[in-house]
Amino acid sequence: MKKLICLILCLSSLAVYSQTFKLKDYQQDFDYFWQSINDNYCYFSKKGIDWKSLRATYQSEIDTVTSRNAFIGILEKVLNELHDHHSSLNTNTPFSRRLVPTGADLWAEYVGDLPIITEVRRNFAPDKLGIKAGMQVVMVNDVKVEDAIRPFLAHTITAESKSYALRLLLAGDHRTPRKLTVKTDKGLEDFYPDQQGMMLENISYPAMVEGADLQGIGYLKINNFLYDNALIAKFDSVLNTLLQKKALIIDLRETPSGGNTSVARAILGRFITKDHFYQKHEYYAEEKETGIKRSWIEIVSPRGQTYTKPLVVLADHWTGSIAEGITIAFDGMKRATVVGTQLARLNGAVESFNMPNTKIRFNIATERLYHVNGTPREFYQPTVKVDMTKQQPGKDLILTTALQFLQQKIK
């Protein structure tokens, strides 16, 4: 039956891709796209975007569309106006940028006027090549950064929108190998992260959940499967082998793609002995329509055998979406100490919308999310923040910091 369902879905998908659309189909879909974002996206006020004024800017491009790929390219430019890595299309072309953080191996931000790498994804190509946090990016594929970011830069130019464009630039597309010119201690150096192939399109993991003993402390690494309910049984199985450890580390540094709250609550429930509030929501569309704010706080309940000993959660810029929710929940319940860097800062909870003609789906944030203390999730900072400029080649500074913290705690 599963094979039959897959075949039907694949044939349906091929039918949509091979279908010839008329200009009015693209125009109608763009109207739906623009209006859905206008009515439901919940972070306009924070970003200072004049959404209504942008419609005319892109309408003229839509009115000349002749292909699905060209239509996708315009939609991607429109989404860049939100400068929000949690807003995306569920399709792409070879020229689309890789998704950040899922398909990115570098995190960068503008520090003052300088484009600076602030974190490198462990065990990916830039890490192995020797690119480090603190280095300045000078050129990408022989184009100066200030020129290369322009195709991804929103009309609302802020430090945030420039940093967003910088990360898209560094992530690359699905067909063009990257050449990064970076300022190092030795001067300008060129790096080629895709020289061995376009590996970011083919990320794989040895298991959903990995476990180990590190100096008598349990280590449990959750990989990028928080969207799959099958992870729950895998998590339980590994955790059960570590229940006798005097302390535990949960590593969420390779969970960029989001997931569902069932998996999140299943994980959290193994570490508490009573019900806890763990996350606050605000639903924007109802507030916009009625003027009345709708908000609520979610509860997580105990589940199975509880681990009650000291606990540390590792997080970084590849701790994204639902993993950010798990992280702030552990912190809000005062059940764990969070060690690492700033998280992915993905805005809110997303909802998926489906265009009526091309059937292209897109995701936008429709609910604002908060730590139980009222801090917006995207502004959360780890309790123990690690300076990644001090990372040494072949070492794991965040993990080392966590082990040192727990060794002191369990003396």
Q: Quick one: fold of 209-343+380-409? A: 2-enoyl-CoA Hydratase; Chain A, domain 1 (3.90.226)
Separation CA 167–CA 343 (nearest Å): 14
Looking at every residue in the chain, the average pLDDT score rounds to 94
Q: What is the pLDDT of residues 196-247, one digit of tens each?
A: 888 898 899 999 999 999 999 999 999 999 999 999 999 999 999 999 999 9
Q: What is the pLDDT of residues 156-201, one digit of tens each?
A: 999 999 999 999 999 999 999 999 999 999 999 999 999 988 889 8
Q: What is the pLDDT of residues 289-299, one digit of tens each?
A: 899 999 999 99
Is there a shared CATH topology between the 106-195 domain and the 209-343+380-409 domain? no
- Architecture of domain 106-195 in this structure: Roll (2.30)
Residue 12's pLDDT is 42
What are the residue boundaries of the structural domains of the chain, listed by start?
Answer: 106-195, 209-343+380-409
